[in-house]
Structure 1
Amino acid sequence: MEKTIKIGPNIKFIRNLKGFKQEAVAQELGISQAEYSLIENSNFVDDQIIFQIAQIFNVTPDVIKEFNENQAFYSIENKIDNTAIHENAHGIHQVFSPVEKVIELYERLLASEREKIEILKNQNNL
């Protein structure tokens, strides 16, 4: 009997491992949190969406598509700062900091708002 791969739950599991909130991933994708929730509850997800989500999570699309816990832990650990898993480690040491992602998103939002202010100033000077 063939095992059915459910892509949405794989995405959810990896998102939780990486420490992302649904809202943050949805914002990166340019969709609402409700739309993103539908993705995580879907058995099948479009390859383009999988690719975009993989980029956000800093994993390969194959990690999402061919989900395997051991492969996911190994890939996530190695993608985050190219840090190898140590043989004597008691579990996975996750270097990823969700705070860094929030700061990055905030800085992008702030830059966007500054651009809007400059455009409005230039329009008022005309």
Structure 2
Amino acid sequence: MKTSAKPSHIGRKISKIRELRGMKQEALALAIGVSQQTISNIENSEEVEEEVLVKIAEALEVSVEGIKNFNEDIVLNIISNTFRDNSSVINYGCTFNPIDKVVELYDKLLASEKEKFEYLEKLFKDKL
């Protein structure tokens, strides 16, 4: 038995991304210079012209590929794995490598000590 792949409904993807961005149809329409009804029609369309898609992507601050590859299940999975309601604790991933920060601080400390040593050495030579 053969199963056919579910067709990609680009209009629904645009709608979901717009909603996730907290943007109303009117705001998106204003941003790309069309009417709210046109946005409604676009969001109900399975396909959208590439030129219009580029304008929409720019207004939503995402890439065209981001719209085309948008998957609501993945977004919901990320959200559910990132935000937890355990006594109001939010699990944010670290945005930097702590070891890199330690190395950076160590390098600054070494540079400071080197400057101090050179200054003291200069003072000592001037005294002699």
TM-score band by shorter chain is: 0.5 to 0.7
- Calculate the aligned-residue CA RMSD, in Å: 2.7
Correspondence for 1:43 among 39, 46, 52: 46
2:16 corresponds to 1:3 = no
Q: How many pairs align?
A: 81
1 CA distance for matches of 2:77 and 2:62?
10
Percent identity between matched residues is: 41
Pair 1:89-2:89 in alignment: no
TM-score when scaled to structure 2?
0.55
Letter in 1 for 2:58: Q
Distance in structure 1 (CA, Å) of the matches to 2:76 and 2:63 = 10
Task: Tell me the SS of whatever aligns to 1:45.
Answer: coil
Structure 2 counterpart of 1:77:
none
1:12 to partner: Cα distance? 0.3
> Residues 43, 58 of structure 1: CA spacing in aligned structure 2 closer, same or farther, 3 A cutoff?
same
Whether 1:58 aligns to 2:61 is yes
Amino acid at match of 2:32: L
| Residues 87-109 of structure 1: per-residue CA shift (max 9 Å, x gap) | x831699xxxxxxxxxxxxxxxx
State the partner residue of 2:118: none
Q: Would you say 1:15 and 2:18 are equivalent positions?
A: yes
Indicate the structure (1 or 2) with the bigger Cα radius of gyration. Answer: 2
1:45-80 Cα shifts (integer Å, max 9, x gaps): 011111111111111111111222326997xxxxxx
Gaps of 5+ in 1: 75-84, 94-126
TM-score, normalised via structure 1 length: 0.56
| CA 67–7 in structure 1, closer or farther in 2 if over 3 Å, else same | same
Closer, same or farther in 2 for the Cα pair 1:16/1:73, shift >3 Å?
farther
Tell me, yes or no, if the aligned pair for 1:63 and 1:71 is still in contact at 8 Å.
no
Q: Which amino acid aligns with 2:11?
A: G
